[in-house]
């Protein structure tokens, strides 16, 4: 059970990064001449982080199959 604080801390760090990416993406879309490749890369990273957050949250829930 000593992994739970580290998982929770990792989730928190990922959520902070996810929010920062959301802000950065919003700012880029406000500029009509934004860098499309950068915008696409940031959106993919945001989705990957969202998946990582969900995976870590699932890790916090114990398996009931045992």
Domain positions in the chain: 3-60
Burial class, 25, CB count within 10 angstroms (exposed 0-12 / middle 13-18 / buried 19+): middle
How many alpha carbons fall within 13 Å on the CB side of residue 32?
0
Using CA atoms, how far apart are residues 57 and 42, in angstroms rounded to an integer? 22
Are 18 and 48 contacting, i.e. CB atoms less than 8 angstroms apart?
A: no
Q: For 40-64, how does the pLDDT look when each residue is reduced to its tens digit (9 = 90+)?
A: 999 999 999 999 999 999 988 877 7
Q: For 10-42, how does the pLDDT look when each residue is reduced to its tens digit (9 = 90+)?
A: 999 999 999 999 999 999 988 878 788 999 999
């Amino acid at each position: 059970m000593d992994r739970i604080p580290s998982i929770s801390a990792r989730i928190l760090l990922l959520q902070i990064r996810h929010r920062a990416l959301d802000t950065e993406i919003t700012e880029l879309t406000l500029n009509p001449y934004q860098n499309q490749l950068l915008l696409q890369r940031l959106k993919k990273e945001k989705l990957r982080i969202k998946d990582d957050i969900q995976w870590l949250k699932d890790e916090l829930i114990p398996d009931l199959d045992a």
